Amino acid sequence: MLTPNLTVSPDGHLMIGGADTVALAKTHGTPLYVMDENMIRENCRGYGNVIAEEYGGNGLICFASKALSCKELYRIVDSEGLGADVVSGGELYTALKAGMPAEKIVMHGNSKTNTELQMAVTHGVGRIVCDNLPELERLDRIAEKSGRIANIMLRIKPGIDAHTHDFVKTGQIDSKFGFALETGEAMAAVKAASLYPNLHLLGLHCHIGSQILDTEPFAEAGRVMVQFMDKIRDEIGLTLTELNLGGGPGIRYTEEDDPKPFGEIVRAILAAVKESCERADYPKPFILFEPGRSIVGGAGLTLYTVMAKKVIPNIRTYVLIDGGMCDNPRYALYHSRYEAVIANKAAEPRTETVTIGGQCCESGDLIGEDMPLQTAECGDTVAVLATGAYNYSMASHYNRNPNAEMVMVRDGEARTVIRRETYEDIIRCDI
Ligand code: LLP
């Protein structure tokens, strides 16, 4: 199976975290997001352990809640010692409502509104990652009016494109996020930020991309950022104390995927940071990471019911389900690949090749094409694997479909953590 928490019961049912997915679909209905709490907790601890072992615990892991934002997730990661990365007022609101301590929150956004900045300042968010000069200006004024000093980091584009086969160190100037290193923009921003009386510049942030399978681009980002911190010290005499290296470690979506385990990636980054600091005689900064996908992605799956099957001779076979791009838009958006299993036939071989189609009035509403699957019949339960990240968080109400329910499974027991939306929920803002 794709992840170690998935097994098959003696009666051929797909099990996740000790719970029978066929029974879950029957009790809770479909589409149903199922998350494995133990796996989420193990991943949180895995990150924490590496920081403890390799860096004396001098860091904070902030779960990138854009991957999955709901109150229970913030409670779980908080209880494992993690903080949260939020990128909107909505994520910040959810985190605070769940009881996540504000000082463990990192606030992102390349286009934050004054309302969002005010919220961050009022609640005393630990770090606001500033993206552009007008934001610095606005935040300084907001902090002044509130009688606060805002702790900030600056988002830097380190010039690393990690999404090519052999990563390259140019070409990332064309990004809407942050200040470019190569052009001198980043140095100018550091100088500007250090002069605002109501802002306290703690350090720098970079994020080189997502679903990255290898260690080297991350290690290179660590080296580039420490070199830049050293240059800042040389030029303006400012020693920054914090470095946030973003998120990005990839996960297994298909049997062919072979990502480096996140532990290896974090070890490589920390080694690069330590080495660069020693070489420059720079004090080792407090380190932050913001993993999202690698904490929740593999811990989730989505259950659907087969509503119909259409065999188009010599062309393709459609298996049509009671969900689709509304609960998982990733194939429609990125042609992302997934594995699917018929949960009630999980012990049988996957002998058919199908296209899984959703309910939306849109031909591109697919979960995937050319997917191996057991022989599907109406009423079967289909499980799409590794949907824990960027599925619920990217869900939409297209065609006025209500959002699906989410259950958290722990040691075989399931509890609802996001209830299924009703049609009343769908019209609640209509006048
Ligand atoms: N920090 C920052 C500043 C980010 O922009 C992101 C992701 C993360 C952390 C977390 O990255 P992760 O560890 O999850 O790779 N919707 C896309 C993914 C977009 C990721 C955007 N930023 C998808 O479904 O693949």
Q: What are the extents of the domains in the chain?
A: 6-30+299-426, 37-292
- Predicted confidence (pLDDT) at residue 316 exceeds the cutoff of 70: yes
CB 26 within 8 A of CB 305: no
| Token pair in block for residue 385 | 């694997």
Fold of 37-292: TIM Barrel (3.20.20)
| Alpha carbon distance 159, 297 (integer Å) | 27
pLDDT digits (tens, 9 = 90+) for 382-424: 999 999 999 999 999 999 999 999 999 999 999 999 999 999 9
Predicted confidence at residue 168, as pLDDT, reads: 67
How many helices (H) and strands (E) the chain has is answered by 12, 21
- Residue for token pair 């080694």: 271
CATH code assigned to 6-30+299-426 = 2.40.37.10
How high is the mean pLDDT of the chain?
A: 96
Res 1: pLDDT: 84
Q: Nearest CA to 265 among 310, 333, 219?
A: 219
**What pTM value is reported for the model?**
0.97
Give the pLDDT score at 69: 98
Task: Name the one residue in this structure whose structure tokens are 């968010």.
Answer: 125
- Whose Cα sits closest to atom 23 in ligand 1? 390
**What's the gap in Å between 218 CA and the centre of ligand 1?**
14
For residue range 95-141, what is the model confidence (pLDDT) as tens digits? 999 999 999 999 999 999 999 999 999 999 999 999 999 999 999 99
pLDDT tens-digit readout, 261-283: 999 999 999 999 999 999 999 99
Query: Percentage of the chain surpassing pLDDT 90?
Result: 95
Q: Please enumerate in sequence order all residues whose Cβ is within 8 A of that of 42, keeping only pairs 6 or more positions apart, or say none.
A: none
- Report pLDDT for 174: 82
Residue 208: strand pairing partners: none
The secondary structure of 93-105 as a DSSP string is HHHHHTT--GGGE
For ligand 1, atom 20: residue with the closest CA:
210
pLDDT tens per residue across span 166-209: 676 655 778 899 999 999 999 999 999 999 999 999 999 999 99
What integer pLDDT is reported at residue 170 of this predicted model?
Answer: 55
Residue 185 — φ and ψ, nearest 5°?
Answer: -60, -40
Active-site residue identified among 44, 70, 277, 361: 361
Q: How far is the CA of 346 from the centre of ligand 1 (A)?
A: 31
